[in-house]
Structure 1
């Protein structure tokens, strides 16, 4: 409280954070919900990386049942953590859209088999977008690498990614 009062007295403002939510629909009943925060000043940046993210959480599901979670606040030094996000488009770039050498690696690298025992992770690369669970690649969760992966300002209403805002952003036939 004293720190906040001192900051405001000196003319500063508490840092504001942008919060976005996402819901990813894989194959065979696999889905994922999540949220992340980054400094509000980066809302118009060209790209945001893992270095810019201040909070990040994901939860994986199979047929609506929770199968695992991961959060950067409990990240271990050997956990894969790379992220690319286009804040102006509210989209995680996939496949050929990705600037630089990495797509998405959220406790899962390009093999989607490096999450530890009892852990969950997500990978989006040039082969697929898919899950890692307890050190195993969950191949049946995967979708094509170029499938759009969008974010939104409201939290998903269910783990199956069935809300109207999410359905409206899917391509026809998905």
Structure 2
């Protein structure tokens, strides 16, 4: 029932041909991230989508609610790390090795979370942690364990600390 309501809210926005998905990630020590992505609504029933399916994607990182950086995949540089895995039917990003390969997510940050460039921002989720890259440096204190659920939602997050109504860590893993 909830899944059906979420799908309907995606379509209720109008006749657009893109599914819009919002997310809010809560790291450790006051670090958090909000984001939004779009992909063809025809893929809502797919088993998994990847970066090649995404038509728009933007993330913003925060520390104690204050923006510390952002990244937009549509204006990325050719050497920016960009890989994404998303399960649209369950509204979640796979974590902790649920998909083949050593990394689940690399949004301007590879497995070392040090390649986001001077002044850059990125997010990495892999077999060691989910964490940030900021200005070319791994922000170890932002990290949470790899199996921490990472859930998407139909509505924008209530606030950048991810403490709004959709408490993502409460969402059950299938």
Contact 2:97 2:104 in 1 (8 A): no
Secondary structure (helix, strand or coil) at the match of 1:96 reads coil
Listed as ranges, the matches of 1:27-46 within 5 Å are 27-46=28-47
Displacement of 1:82: 0.1
Secondary structure (helix, strand or coil) at the match of 2:89 reads coil
Tell me which residue corresponds to 1:47: 48
Deviations 1:116-172 (A, max 9, x none): 10010000000000000000000000000010000000000100001112257357x
Deviations 1:64-91 (A, max 9, x none): 0000000012100010000000000000
Q: Which runs of 5 or more structure 1 residues have no equivalent in the other structure?
A: 1-13
Displacement of 1:99: 3.9
The reply on whether 1:144 has 2:145 as its aligned counterpart is yes
Contact 1:106 1:121 in 2 (8 A): yes
Tell me which residue corresponds to 1:68: 69
TM-score, normalising length: structure 1: 0.87
CA RMSD between the two structures? 1.5
Contact 2:113 2:133 in 1 (8 A): yes
Contact 1:23 1:166 in 2 (8 A): no
Tell me which residue corresponds to 1:10: none
Tell me which residue corresponds to 2:115: 114
Secondary structure (helix, strand or coil) at the match of 2:160 reads coil
Q: Which runs of 5 or more structure 2 residues have no equivalent in the other structure?
A: 1-14
TM-score, normalising length: structure 2: 0.87
Aligned residues: 158
Secondary structure (helix, strand or coil) at the match of 1:73 reads helix
Deviations 1:89-124 (A, max 9, x none): 000000131244531000000000000100100000
Contact 1:48 1:87 in 2 (8 A): yes
Tell me which residue corresponds to 1:17: 18
Tell me which residue corresponds to 1:131: 132
